[in-house]
Amino acid sequence: MSTTASTTPTIPSPSPRTGSPTPPAPGALATGQGNTHIADTVVSKIAGVAAREVTGIHRLGGGAARALGSLRERIPGASTSASQGVSVEVGEKQAAVDIDVVVEYGVAISDLASAVRRNVTAAVQGMTGLEVVEVNLTVNDVHLPSDDADDSGSGSGSGSGSGNTDRSFAAPRVR
């Protein structure tokens, strides 16, 4: 009688690599191929656009910034600054954002603030790879429906919260 031994082929385990660079984390701004520096104005514009996308935001900026923006809108060919009402601090890996807003009357401000924080954080982190450590909002004013009659002669109303297509960050209205 003969016995046959079953042998299982052995697969050699891969040897650990030594001396090879570790690939950078997704969104890393410093790699083995060079560094990427993102200017404050870039982060400010991204945050401003993202904040304006949220339904319930009428305009960005405090009184003085809005006054200058209103004058700027009246100049032919000029447009509202995307970073109006936004200030940022940008480090090597992190960013902090401060936004001054005017909200539409009837919007729940706490829900609106949460929606703005989510949208700004997602936009800044997604486009720059910077970790957004905080988004601070200052509500400077409430836009009343009766204010629309006063604004009717001021142009196209750029910067208003109306006409937004991204409803995923809409804040609920108070009834």
Residues 43-62 have pLDDT tens digits of 999 999 999 999 999 999 97
pLDDT class of 157 with cuts at 50, 70, 90: very low
Q: What would the pLDDT profile of 16-34 be if each residue is shown by its tens digit?
A: 555 544 444 445 687 889 9
Least confident span in 64-73, 99-108, 145-154: 64-73
For the chain, the structural domain boundaries read 38-148
Which pLDDT belongs to residue 149? 67
Pick the CATH number of 38-148 from 3.30.70.1350, 3.30.590.20, 3.10.20.30, 3.40.1260.10: 3.30.70.1350
Kindly tell me if the per-residue pLDDT of 144 is higher than 50: yes
| C-beta atoms surrounding 11 within 10 Å | 6
